[in-house]
Amino acid sequence: MICNHSQIRARTLLPQRLAFRCAVFGALIGLAACGRGGGGPEAAGPMFTLSGGEIAVPAQSPLRSRLLVQPVGGQENIGGMDVPAMIEADPSRVANLVAPLAGKVVSVNARLGGMVHSGQVLATLVSGDAAGAQGDLIKARDAWDLATRQLERARKVRSVGGGADKDLEAAQSAYNQAKAEFERATARKTSLGSTSGAQITLTAPRSGVVTAVNLAEGTYVSDPTAVLLTVTATDRVYASALLPEAQASKAHVGQAVDVRLTSDPDHPVHAKITELGGVLDAETRRRKARIALDNPNGQFLPNMYASVRLLDQGTQSSLWAPQSALLMNNDAVSVLVEVRPFVFVRRTVVLGDETADAAQIVQGLRPGERIVVRGGVLLND
């Protein structure tokens, strides 16, 4: 049998709603018993009456104190869809430091989790290859200077009629080769970064937190591709939310969201979707949404768990009601709408997105209508 999404969702939440009805049914029996045990004229009155489809709660009924009526969607931030998320560092601001040449570690000035500033020295190595690169540059500069002087001398001699053309051409060729060798040695020395003689200095390319330390004093580094240190800038991070396939097409860049840390759910951060993944993950069937967060105080740490609530756009067709307002009648979901003070009518509604606390009302209610959001199960006969 094939079930649509709303049927599956209704069956998933059905056990929770039935358990809630059973719990409140006990309270209803208790209230009825208290009404019968009073013995007075008011105690003998009905708890509610049903006439012409209207449910009226008399003034003397103890149910009045158990009912809470509010306008539909009247609670702040009741609407939205919660999805799991994780705080991630900006990949473009994570710097992995490697040793450009093999060498011995003589000092380590970085500690795991410590804050560093741009240009700060993190580690120092001594390398014979670095000394060789420095020597190559010195020799190349000297050879170029010599070739420059020889070329100038050959030109002067040739300009007064002395010497042969081949001598000038040989001087020009030697000059060109010396210049090319000097440029190569300079580029190699520059590519090695902060080096002085045999010493290699690893410095922080930006301010941030040291998130990996893979070297120690006295050890020898032989793999130029091995990551020795990682510096992560955390003043700007991302909350990466995983949207289920059924909701992936409803999100859009710029949509308002609330980001809540699992460790601090009472202080949401208002933000907007910055990026949306262009593909759906084949295994998880989810689409990644990334929300940029300014983090100057370090509130958000990479790898922290969070949740992201996608807020609706405030349109009239997107109304939300608490789960406690929804009543199950066979396979239909209904709410109790107040038509007059403490007089209600039952109305069937169609649900859209749902969270643990609220449900979107796609059809059946209008903005501003007042519904029973607490205690409605006591009137659900």
Query: Are residues 255 and 320 located together in one domain of the fold?
Result: no
309 — pLDDT class (breaks 50, 70, 90)? confident
Q: Which amino acid is at 106?
A: V
Structure tokens at 350: 């169609």
Query: Are residues 320 and 368 located together in one domain of the fold?
Result: yes
Please give the Cα distance from 105 to 216 (Å, whole number). 7
Query: Are residues 245 and 300 located together in one domain of the fold?
Result: yes
Please give the Cα distance from 170 to 250 (Å, whole number). 73
The answer to whether 254 touches 309, Cβ cutoff 8 Å, is: no
Please give the Cα distance from 31 to 63 (Å, whole number). 8
CA distance to 140, 330, 374, per residue, from 350 (Å): 81, 14, 19
381 — pLDDT class (breaks 50, 70, 90)? low
DSSP reduced 3-state for 102 = coil
The answer to whether 38 touches 32, Cβ cutoff 8 Å, is: no
Question: Could you report the per-residue pLDDT of 34-60, keeping only the tens digit for each?
Answer: 444 444 444 557 889 999 989 999 999
Query: Are residues 306 and 327 located together in one domain of the fold?
Result: no
How many domains are there within the chain?
3
Would you say residue 114 lies in a domain? no
Would you say residue 239 lies in a domain? yes
pLDDT at 306: 94
Please give the Cα distance from 251 to 274 (Å, whole number). 11
The CATH number given to whatever domain includes residue 20 is: 2.40.420.20
317 — pLDDT class (breaks 50, 70, 90)? very low
The CATH number given to whatever domain includes residue 245 is: 2.40.30.170
Quickly tell me which residue has 């120690």 as its tokens.
216
Please give the Cα distance from 340 to 342 (Å, whole number). 6
The answer to whether 52 touches 357, Cβ cutoff 8 Å, is: no
Query: Are residues 338 and 284 located together in one domain of the fold?
Result: no
Instruction: Tell me the pLDDT of the chain averaged across its residues.
Output: 83
Q: Whole domain around residue 259: which residue ranges?
A: 82-90+234-310
- pTM score: 0.54
CA distance to 63, 124, 333, 380, per residue, from 377 (Å): 11, 72, 12, 5
Residues with Cβ within 8 Å of residue 156, at least 6 apart in sequence = none
Would you say residue 363 lies in a domain? yes
Q: Which of 84, 126, 109, 93 is nearest to 306 (CA)?
A: 84
Would you say residue 102 lies in a domain? no
Question: Could you report the per-residue pLDDT of 246-293, keeping only the tens digit for each?
Answer: 777 778 899 888 999 999 888 889 999 999 998 988 888 889 999 999
Structure tokens at 48: 């509610």
Please give the Cα distance from 33 to 35 (Å, whole number). 5
pLDDT at 339: 94
Would you say residue 275 lies in a domain? yes
- Running DSSP on this structure, what letter comes out for residue 331? T
Question: How many helices (H) and strands (E) would you count in the chain?
Answer: 4, 25
The answer to whether 243 touches 299, Cβ cutoff 8 Å, is: no
Residue 21, H or E segment: helix 5-37
Query: Are residues 299 and 338 located together in one domain of the fold?
Result: no
Work out the burial of residue 126: count CB atoms within 10 Å of its CB; fewer than 13 is exposed, 13-18 middle, 19 or more buried. middle
Query: Are residues 257 and 305 located together in one domain of the fold?
Result: yes
pLDDT at 218: 93
Would you say residue 145 lies in a domain? yes
316 — pLDDT class (breaks 50, 70, 90)? very low
**Per mean pLDDT, which range of 67-71, 128-132, 212-216 is the poorest?**
128-132
The CATH number given to whatever domain includes residue 161 is: 1.10.287.470
How do beta strands 370-374 and 68-71 pair? antiparallel
Distance of CA 290 to the CA centre of its chain: 5
